[in-house]
Amino acid sequence: ATQGQVIKCKAAIAWEKLKPLSIEEVEVAPPQKGEVRIKILATGVCHTDAYTLDGHDPEGIFPVILGHEGGGIVESVGEGVTSVKEGDHVIPLYIPQCYDCKFCKSPKTNLCGRIRATQGKGVMPDGTSRFTARGQKIFHFMGCSSFSEYTVVSEMSVAKVSDKAPLDKVCLLGCGISTGYGAALNTANVEDGSNVAVFGLGAVGLAVAMGCKERGAKKIIGVDINEDKFEMAKQFGCNEFLNPLKVEDTVASLIEMTDGGCDYTFECIGNVKTMRQALEACHKGWGQSVIIGVAAAGQEISTRPFQLVTGRVWKGSAFGGWKSRDSVPKLVDSYMDGKVMVDEFVTFTKPLVEINEAFDLMHQGKALRTVVNM
Ligand code: APR
Ligand code: ZN
């Protein structure tokens, strides 16, 4: 048994920015009070991992074990842990749910403030790390660090999911798919008959389309500069398309396509220019635009205030507004019931030793998601 022992295993370590991840041995300390050690079986690779690796995150700390879209099995739990036990199938959560803070007690948000400060510093809630490699302390990432065969996370950052669900698929519900799907269902609360525009047809945008389709949206306009995305986007619900490079004025084109403007628009790119377009393509009086894409540090959005005075609404959400521990198990069940698509988002699979290729595929725009099997 490994319980109570330091586990030596393989991890993909980011020693410094702009360098490929290095697959090497890491020592993973046993879970302390309120912590859970997880054997990770699979993980997605997402833009936030690349953003940090590329040195764009001003708060990025190295050396670090990245990854926040994982799935695994509980190996052991620390003192006082009651919500999961050894053998449970789990998804680590980058937005925890403590059930106790001001945020968790409010039905208006899914953000939990309880361990935010330490998570941002790359350490466990007690201020220390569980990872060591080459005799050096390695930092945690987003409270998850799924690019390791074993990881330790706070109990507040673990969702117990059905053990019938394939972890090499439902790991993707740990970030991108849930983020887009929830933005449509929770943040926008799209109703049937709506006209919507989705800016950016990556995994996040396609998950938005899936949510809008489920709600019975009429027009789901996919907006992307890469027309290769259009055909595939149809299966997620997009039924009209716009390539901004082929029209003179993206906003005017969308307003014309929707007889006055969209009821809902979603920005799933992370570009402040398209954020403005998405807002201004909304229908006067009621159109709502949801920002999901993560813009580069220091960027600012702008529009004329008149846009808001005349009834357009600008919003945003993180992780689709889902209260994480409550919702992720339900999202997994919805996938098992055939309601939420997940398999369709897996473009490639790679073994851990080829994780850097998963980053290449993402940068090249070739992958919705690459799932790395540990
Ligand atoms: N106009 C329209 N489409 C664009 C533009 C643009 N100016 N720039 C990029 N795109 C398209 C790309 O062609 C791509 O299809 O946006 C899509 C983005 O998809 P992905 O790169 O696969 O990103 P995804 O994983 O869906 O995440 C989207 O959410 O998590 C955040 O930081 C992440 O900002 C990113 C966003
Ligand atoms: Zn909380």
Those residues with Cβ within 8 angstroms of residue 124's Cβ, 6 or more apart along the chain or in another chain? 32, 35, 118, 130, 140, 152, 154
Q: Give whole-number Cα distances, 284 to 280, 281, 297, 306, 317, in Å.
A: 9, 9, 30, 10, 22
Q: Express each pLDDT in 329-348 by its tens digit.
A: 999 999 999 999 999 999 99
Residue closest via CA to ligand 1's atom 29 equals 293
Burial class (CB in 10 A: 0-12, 13-18, 19+), 114: buried
Q: Express each pLDDT in 126-137 by its tens digit.
A: 999 999 999 999
Which ipTM did the prediction report?
Answer: 0.97
For the chain, helix (H) and strand (E) counts, in that order, are: 12, 17
CB distance 234 to 211 below 8 Å:
no
Strands 35-44 and 150-154: antiparallel
Q: Express each pLDDT in 68-80 by its tens digit.
A: 999 999 999 999 9
**From CA 373, how far away is CA 10, in angstroms rounded?**
12
Cα of 332 to ligand 2 centre, how many Å?
22
Cα of 110 to ligand 2 centre, how many Å?
8
In this structure, what token pair is assigned to residue 202? 């990556």
Burial class (CB in 10 A: 0-12, 13-18, 19+), 109: middle
| Pocket probe mutation, ligand 1, options 204, 269, 292, max atoms within 8 Å of Cβ | 269
Q: Could you tell me which of 174, 224, 139 has the C-alpha nearest to residue 331?
A: 174
- pTM > 0.90: yes or no: yes
Q: Give whole-number Cα distances, 3 to 28, 71, 156, 253, 359, in Å.
A: 11, 20, 20, 60, 33
Q: Express each pLDDT in 28-38 by its tens digit.
A: 999 999 999 99
Residue closest via CA to ligand 1's atom 24 equals 202
Using the 8-state DSSP alphabet, how is residue 203 labeled?
A: H
Please name the amino acid found at residue 247: V
**From CA 87, how far away is CA 89, in angstroms rounded?**
6
CB distance 223 to 199 below 8 Å:
yes
User: For residue 111, which ligand has an atom nearest its CA?
Assistant: 2
Q: Provide residues with CB under 6 Å of ligand 1.
A: 47, 176, 199-205, 223-226, 229, 244, 268-271, 274, 292-294, 365
User: For residue 180, which ligand has an atom nearest its CA?
Assistant: 1
CB distance 174 to 71 below 8 Å:
yes
State yes or no: is 282 an active-site residue: no
Phi first, then psi: give them for residue 195, nearest 5 degrees. Answer: -105, 125
Strands 150-154 and 219-223: unpaired
User: For residue 95, which ligand has an atom nearest its CA?
Assistant: 2
What band does 278 get if pLDDT is binned at 50, 70 and 90? Answer: very high
State yes or no: is 262 an active-site residue: no
State yes or no: is 215 an active-site residue: no
Does 57 have pLDDT greater than 90? no
Residue closest via CA to ligand 1's atom 3 equals 224
Q: What is the pLDDT of residue 58?
A: 84
- Give helix 272-280 / helix 250-257 axis angle, nearest 10°: 30
Burial class (CB in 10 A: 0-12, 13-18, 19+), 373: middle
| Ligand 1 atom closest to 206 (CA) | 26
Q: Express each pLDDT in 114-130 by its tens digit.
A: 999 999 999 999 999 99
Does 195 have pLDDT greater than 90? yes
Q: What residue spans of 152-249 are helical by DSSP H?
A: 167-170, 176-182, 203-214, 228-233
Q: Express each pLDDT in 93-113 by its tens digit.
A: 999 999 999 999 999 999 999
User: Around 112, how many Cα atoms within 13 Å sit in the side-chain half-sphere?
Assistant: 25
| Residue 356 host element (H or E) | helix 355-363
Q: Give whole-number Cα distances, 352 to 159, 259, 371, in Å.
A: 23, 49, 10
Those residues with Cβ within 8 angstroms of residue 192's Cβ, 6 or more apart along the chain or in another chain? 215, 216, 217, 218
**From CA 113, how far away is CA 120, in angstroms rounded?**
11
Active-site pick, 2, 9, 56, 116: 116
Q: What is the pLDDT of residue 199?
A: 98
Cα of 100 to ligand 2 centre, how many Å?
5
